Amino acid sequence: MFSYVLRRLGALIVILFGSSFLLYNLSAISTDPLEDLRLSDAQNRDYLIQALTRELRLDLPPPLRYFIWLRGVLGVFVGNPNFGLTREQQPVVEAIVDAIPTTIRLVAVATIVAIVLGIALGITSALRQYSRFDYGMTFFAFLLFSLPIFWVAVLLKQYLAIDFNDFLVNAKISPPWIIGLSTVTGFFWATMISGSRKRVLTIFAGAFLANSIFLSFISATEWLSYPRLGPIAIAILGVGIALGVTYLSVGLSDRNAVKSTLCMALIGTILYFPAQTLLDSSRPRVGILLLLIALLISGVAVSFLFSRIDRGPVIRTSIITSVLIWGLILIDQMMQAWRPFVESDDVNYRPVATIGQSTIWLSDVSFWVRVLDFAMHLVLPTLALTLISFAGYVRFSRGTLLDVLNQDYIRTARAKGLTERTVVMRHAFRNTMIPLTTIMVGDVAGIVGGAIITERVFAWQGMGTLFNKAINSFDLNLLMGVILFLSTLAILANLIADLLYSALDPRIRVGAGK
């Protein structure tokens, strides 16, 4: 095991050396950094050309320049690394460190949403194999899989930013739209739940009706212009969360769990009132934390109250419920900041943003307006990334789950008389996660480097932009810094994935077969 890791790390160094040498030389001969100066009519042009030649050591052939660069990088081993300066005289390491948080913010939410949604839909799809829902999901998965991100981005910006912002000025949903949207919702639920023809029709009609009423209500109250959850909605949604979480986690037959989660919904609704002053105070971050702690403590307390034996699952279920209710209260707080946000001169009634990470010049605004601003800038890029990456998770989790469901131990579990929920959630789902884990690790590395196009179309300044800039401005130090960072990350992620695989699956041992 130890020698295996060492061997892999050794290979890492060889790969890094080879790829960096190749890339350095290829990039060095591909462009002319003096191009702008050659075409300029500036009086001191010759002097500028000389200065740049000296700065970039253009008098030396690229392979020699590579070794000068490498000498600096090898300083890592003596504790004195020198990755050089960018063309703007900023240390390369600093530029990369500045860019990483942005990229992570961009890809983290998208990746999490894609994983959760992808796995949920993939599993549903597998459980309804060869149903209308399954075919529908397969169709959408392949459709989304094949969409290029820049095109998705353009469409999303047009419809969800430009048109939606225009719509928000009045926020009236016209009847054709209500009917259309409700039809789509009806179809979704009908195919997802499926069953006999009569049942499908009932579900369709129910979902259609509920959705129409919901949308008409939203339109009539201008809820989209003045969004707010309020205690009543939080109570109702809280009950929904309580039942849903309990169902997935331990099953509704566990009355203790049902009681404690429902109790959490009640506590959440009551806590909503003191939370208002807590979150609106001058130290909102403390308020957020306090609220979470309060909810968690009451969650644990309630579970202890309602359950005598086998408390673990109940506590777990209550904690999940309290965290979700905590999220609801925070969302409500953001909704309350909506009007000041939209009406500010800087946002100017265009809440959904198409470019950038935030409305930078926004000043003298409350914490929640700023949070909302961040969120509104995150919506489109996250959605775009989610749309194109979740398809892979849908297909993969569907395939894996089907594979697992055909295993002997599943048949055994069923034969034992376990409920379908226990078979799927405990026996099948957990084993489905093993191959998925390794994929996720690899994906995260790929995504950090692969957001180049996304960052460009949404004008985010993360790793991708850095990479792009390095190429366009012939910034070899920066380019090599980014490449080195990403390739190290990719190779390490592969290693971690392999190790994780062997840790999760006892049937697999790394380094075996030697």
Q: Which of 74, 116, 236, 297 touches other proteins by CB under 8 A?
A: 236
Q: Which residue number, 338 or 396, has a Cβ lying nearer to other proteins? A: 338
Q: State how far the Cα of 499 lies from the Cα of 504, in Å rounded to an integer.
A: 9
Q: Which residue number, 188 or 501, has a Cβ lying nearer to other proteins? A: 188
Q: Is 274 helix (H, G, I), strand (E, B) or coil?
A: helix
Q: Tell me the H-state helices in 416-504.
A: 420-422, 429-450, 452-457, 463-472, 476-504
Q: Which of 12, 16, 154, 504 touches other proteins by CB under 8 A?
A: 154
- CA-wise closest residue to 352 among 199, 495, 167: 167
Q: Which residue number, 33 or 442, has a Cβ lying nearer to other proteins? A: 33
281 binds other proteins (CB under 8 A): no
181 binds other proteins (CB under 8 A): no
Which range in 15-23, 35-43, 320-328, 506-514 contacts other proteins by CB under 8 A? 35-43
Closest contact distance (angstroms) between CB of 393 and other proteins is 23
270 binds other proteins (CB under 8 A): no
If binding means CB under 8 A, how many residues of this protein chain bind other proteins? Answer: 90
Q: Is 400 helix (H, G, I), strand (E, B) or coil?
A: helix
Q: State how far the Cα of 9 lies from the Cα of 15, in Å rounded to an integer.
A: 10
Q: State how far the Cα of 118 lies from the Cα of 144, in Å rounded to an integer.
A: 12
Q: Which of 79, 130, 146, 232 touches other proteins by CB under 8 A?
A: 232
128 binds other proteins (CB under 8 A): no
55 binds other proteins (CB under 8 A): yes
Q: Which residue number, 49 or 290, has a Cβ lying nearer to other proteins? A: 49
Q: Which of 7, 50, 74, 143 touches other proteins by CB under 8 A?
A: 50
Residue 217 CA: distances (Å) to CA of 64, 175, 222, 226: 71, 12, 8, 13
319 binds other proteins (CB under 8 A): no
Q: Which residue number, 49 or 292, has a Cβ lying nearer to other proteins? A: 49
Which range in 19-27, 34-42, 264-272, 301-309 contacts other proteins by CB under 8 A? 34-42
- CA-wise closest residue to 337 among 226, 231, 419: 226
247 binds other proteins (CB under 8 A): yes
172 binds other proteins (CB under 8 A): no
Q: Are 217 and 223 in contact (CB under 8 A)?
A: yes
Q: Which of 17, 177, 349, 409 touches other proteins by CB under 8 A?
A: 349
Q: State how far the Cα of 503 lies from the Cα of 335, in Å rounded to an integer.
A: 44
Q: What is the largest CA-CA distance in the chain?
A: 89
Q: Are 379 and 160 in contact (CB under 8 A)?
A: yes
Q: Tell me the H-state helices in 344-419.
A: 367-405, 408-415
Which range in 151-159, 279-287, 288-296, 489-497 contacts other proteins by CB under 8 A? 151-159
Residue 107 CA: distances (Å) to CA of 47, 365, 430, 460: 44, 27, 25, 11
Q: Which of 91, 100, 456, 500 touches other proteins by CB under 8 A?
A: 456
Please report, in angstroms and rounded to a whole number, the separation of the first and last CA atoms in the chain.
11
Site string for other proteins, 56-95 (x = CB under 8 A): -------------------------------xxxx----x
Q: Which residue number, 287 or 351, has a Cβ lying nearer to other proteins? A: 351
Q: Are 379 and 356 in contact (CB under 8 A)?
A: no
34 binds other proteins (CB under 8 A): yes
